[in-house]
Structure 1
Amino acid sequence: MISVIFDLDGTLVDSEPNYYESGRRTLERHGVPDFTWEQHSRFIGIGTLETLEILKERHGLDAPVEQLLAEQNAAYLELARAHTEAFPEMRTFVELLHARGVPMAVASGSSREAIDAVLAGTGLDALLTTVVSAEEVA
């Protein structure tokens, strides 16, 4: 029997709008009101911590990077639970595999908390119950 392991961000779901919005809100709280999608798009594929370090320096932010990261993560989790869209074709594929009894899992570089929020927010948590995050793998 075959099994399928899915990546999450950019494969099963379109999480990038939530990453942008959570970053935009965080920067706005710290005096950067005009962070655009175009600016955000330059950081796609770069880790959140590294991105925040660059943005802290670029905009002269006083808050420690750890604080910025905690704020952005909290905003992201809120958005992920309410506004994440599963790619329709991938939802259909997962539903088809589930109906046929194919074992499936999600393996992601995101935190377990973020994965759980996204899966719950999209309703895919009922179909994808095996999850491994970057935090769980050396």
Structure 2
Amino acid sequence: MKFKAVLFDLDGTLVNSLIDIADSINKVLEERNFPTHSYEVVNNFIGSGLRNLVTKALPETHKDEASIESTFQAMMTTYRENCTNKTFAYDGIVELLDALKSKNIKLAILSNKADELTKKIGLTLFSDYFDIVLGLKSEATKKPNPLAAIEISNEFGVSPEEFLYVGDSGIDMQTAKNANMHAVGVLWGYRPKEELVAEGAQSIISHPLELIELL
């Protein structure tokens, strides 16, 4: 089948945002005199949105809803101001996007990161590539719920079966499967190959330009 569109996850797929995320959550935790976390630990918190990350980062004694909400709001403020400080595109991503655009492939981003932050990062780093950049607007539509992916498919006028869905996590593979898109797991992101395979990856790539072969 000829694929006509590619839907990308953001964090761990297009960009390495770990340092900005970790620095922001640790700053918020320090301000509250809570223990901070290493980059390796924060890496394991990423993938299900910032509220979920905050919940995991808080000490067990402060996981009540009020603490989560106040810390989440502080995280949003801090991360909004710092989300592009040290975040960068992975090697080969810009070359991949150039190649896809030259083939008139439709491109979109779908992230569990808040919509305003997804747009800020996506449009700052990749201003001329994506037709749609969409982040989380409602907890009810968080990936692996396929609703947003299907909406992107409808807006493009391209059937889900003609999409490559590219992500670095099991959640992404589940989303692709739920949306009936071809699930492509990447090995340069935040999650191991074993997770991607277990959650339904149909293809695995270790460098961005390998995606071209799937077209």
**Pairs within 5 Å for 1:33-48:** 34-45=36-47, 47-48=49-50
**C-alpha separation in 2, matches of 1:23 and 1:47:** 13
Counterpart for residue 85 of structure 1: 88
Determine the C-alpha separation between the residues in 1 that align with 2:21 and 2:9.
16
Provide the secondary structure at the position in 1 that maps to 2:113.
coil
Tell me, yes or no, if the aligned pair for 1:6 and 1:107 is still in contact at 8 Å.
Answer: yes
Distance 2:7 2:56 in 1: 33
SS at match of 1:107: strand
- Is the Cα contact below 8 Å between 2:117 and 2:135 reproduced in 1? no
**Structure 1 residues 65-99: Cα deviation after superposition (integer angstroms, max 9, x where no partner):** 21110111222222223321011211210122123
Contact 1:82–1:121 (8 Å) recurs in 2: no
Do structure 1's residue 103 and structure 2's residue 106 form an aligned pair? yes
Task: Indicate the SS of the match to 1:64.
Answer: helix
**Aligned position for 1:18:** 20
Matched residues, percent identical? 23
**In 1, distance between residues paired with 2:104 and 2:41?**
43
Structure 1: unaligned runs, 5 residues or longer: none
Q: Which structure 2 residue ranges, 5 or more long, are not aligned? A: 142-146, 148-215
Return the alpha-carbon distance in structure 1 between the equivalents of residues 18 and 58 of structure 2. Answer: 20
Change (3 A) 1:42 1:99: closer
Q: How many Å separate the matches in 2 of 1:133 and 1:45?
A: 12
Residues of 2 paired with 1:13 and 1:64: CA distance?
A: 30
Deviation, structure 1 residue 30: 0.9
- Equivalent position amino acid for 2:24 in 1: S
Q: Which has the higher contact order (CA 8 A, sep 6+)?
A: 1
Say whether 1:94 aligns with 2:97: yes
Q: SS where residue 108 of structure 2 aligns?
A: strand
Give the SS at the match of 1:32. Answer: coil
Q: Which residue identity does 2:8 align to in structure 1?
A: F
1:71 corresponding residue in structure 2:
74
Task: Pick closer, same or farther for the CA change 1:52–1:106 going to 2, 3 Å.
Answer: closer
CA distance in 2, matches of 1:60, 1:131: 34
Shift of 1:133: 2.5
Question: Residues 44, 4 of structure 1: CA spacing in aligned structure 2 closer, same or farther, 3 A cutoff?
Answer: closer
Distance in 1, matches of 2:122 and 2:15, equals 9
1:31 corresponds to:
33
Name whichever structure is richer in helix by fraction. Answer: 1
